[in-house]
Structure 1
Amino acid sequence: MRWQWDEYPSGVHYGAPMDPEPLGRYNDPTGRTGICYVADNAASAIAESLGRVYQRDPENFTLGLSDLHKAQMYTLETTRNTRTINMTKLQGMLHITADQTMGARQDITQAITDWAANTPGLQYDGVSYSSRHYGVGMCTAYWEREGETGPLADVTHSSVYDHVDSNPDNFPQNWQEKDIDGFEIVAETLRFDVKADDS
């Protein structure tokens, strides 16, 4: 699953920004390899996207109903068997803690991406890691090396508001329904206030 603030023809986008400001935790700091961030479930994808914005300035964070009509949920699939680095296991092997891979500094995680994505002969397709904002399921930063095709393809997409999901990982505690929609994931599961506006 992947959240995007706007609708695009595809949810598959391997970004390779060079400006340090928009670099994500697992972006390649050299800009040679593009990264596409995905999550195991819609709640994690939404939590990662909204949580990053919220954490920058919680006092001034606002989310309108029109944002949920505009933002898109993309269901993606892998096009081949993939091999990813499991950061939870790698932390133990490197004797580093979660706060070193999830804190404000991003140099360790970006160095791991640089090494794994850009070292000739290594056959990794990405890095899998726990969400900082919703601890159910995993997130993966898949990459597309220069001159190669990345491992992701589109399946479906809809506005976040219209998204309907039956994966129980998206449900809040004690949810009794058989499925949940995107608005309910945002408001009930993740407890974000959604303001009525000119949607």
Structure 2
Amino acid sequence: MGTTDDDNKTTAQLIQELHSKGKLTPKKVKQSSHSYRVQGTGHDNAEYYGCPKRPKELGRYNDPEEEIGIWYGAQHPSGALAETFGRLRPKDKKGTGIFINVTDLESRDMCVVEMNRDLTLLDLKPCLSKLARTVDEVSGLDYSLTQEIVGAVARLPGNPFDGIAYESRHHPDGHSCYALWTKPGEATTVKTVEMTKLSEFEYKGELPEGFEGDSIDAEEIMTEILGYKVLGS
């Protein structure tokens, strides 16, 4: 098979072309809807839009041009916990479980935020085939493609998107994780509602099938949903 013009286009060029044709899949997130973020205790709020500078390693969905701040969170608390602790799984030991000390529940907060306005996010997964890409390319240890996507989408004319909606590589259960951006001088898109130590957090929303009770705590989410081991509890 011969090459086509698309084979020679950069990811940024393909994104611009798809956007001009209305073919980038959006995900709508309504104003005042809640999202979840896990972070260390001691912070005033959960509205951190990180913009790391090299040589520090940029996160999976950080801006490669080091200009735009990115807020990380999740649609469900299980996603926030998976994205925080899932990276503890040894990279060279497939099948090894994740072990967490009970002190980790005291040193981190589960933060609940609400959206300040209606948001439009790029729904990444259904866009991958249009970009001639596959899921493994955005979920592996190489962050260059995801950073390239953020750099291009965040700079589309007219600012049509407020961030990226993606599926957790550590717990792909159909819920979204979010990488929201705020450009210099722009208002943040989230507002802190609640910050609770993981040891005290309880969730009364969508519960696992067959789970008894009307709420689930963070340790139960990690053991019953994520399959982690919490030591010392």
Fold match by TM threshold 0.5:
yes
CA distance in 1, matches of 2:90, 2:164: 23
Q: How does 1:62-81 map to 2 (within 5 A)?
A: 62-81=99-118
Higher strand proportion: 2
2:150 corresponds to: 113
CA contact (8 A) 1:142 1:150 kept: no
CA contact (8 A) 1:79 1:152 kept: yes
> Larger deviation: 51-60 or 115-124?
51-60
1:10 to 1:190, Cα distance in 2 relative to 1, 3 A: same
CA distance in 1, matches of 2:224, 2:62: 31
CA distance in 1, matches of 2:39, 2:223: 18
1:77 to 1:103, Cα distance in 2 relative to 1, 3 A: same
Count of residues paired in the alignment = 195
2:62 corresponds to: 27
CA distance in 1, matches of 2:88, 2:66: 23
Deviation at 1:57, TM superposition (A): 6.9
Q: How does 1:1-199 map to 2 (within 5 A)?
A: 1-19=36-54, 21-56=56-91, 62-136=99-173, 137-168=175-206, 171=208, 173-196=209-232
CA distance in 1, matches of 2:97, 2:124: 32
SS in 2 for 1:188: helix
Deviation at 1:131, TM superposition (A): 0.9
CA distance in 1, matches of 2:115, 2:152: 22
Deviation at 1:119, TM superposition (A): 4.2
Question: Scaled by the length of structure 2, what TM-score is found?
Answer: 0.77
CA distance in 2, matches of 1:36, 1:22: 16
CA distance in 2, matches of 1:27, 1:162: 31
Instruction: Report the residue type matching 2:219 in the other structure.
Output: F
> Larger deviation: 31-40 or 160-169?
160-169
SS in 2 for 1:28: coil
CA contact (8 A) 1:84 1:127 kept: yes
What is the root-mean-square deviation of aligned Cα atoms in Å? 2.0
Deviation at 1:20, TM superposition (A): 5.4
Deviations 1:46-94 (A, max 9, x none): 0111012324576796521111012100001110111111101211211
Deviation at 1:34, TM superposition (A): 0.5
Instruction: Report the residue type matching 1:118 in the other structure.
Output: R
Instruction: Report the residue type matching 2:172 in the other structure.
Output: G
SS in 2 for 1:168: coil
Deviations 1:23-56 (A, max 9, x none): 2111001110010001001111001110123245
1:80 to 1:186, Cα distance in 2 relative to 1, 3 A: same
CA contact (8 A) 2:47 2:188 kept: no
CA contact (8 A) 1:128 1:141 kept: yes
CA distance in 1, matches of 2:92, 2:185: 39
Q: Which has the larger radius of gyration?
A: 2
CA distance in 1, matches of 2:74, 2:97: 26
Higher helix proportion: 1
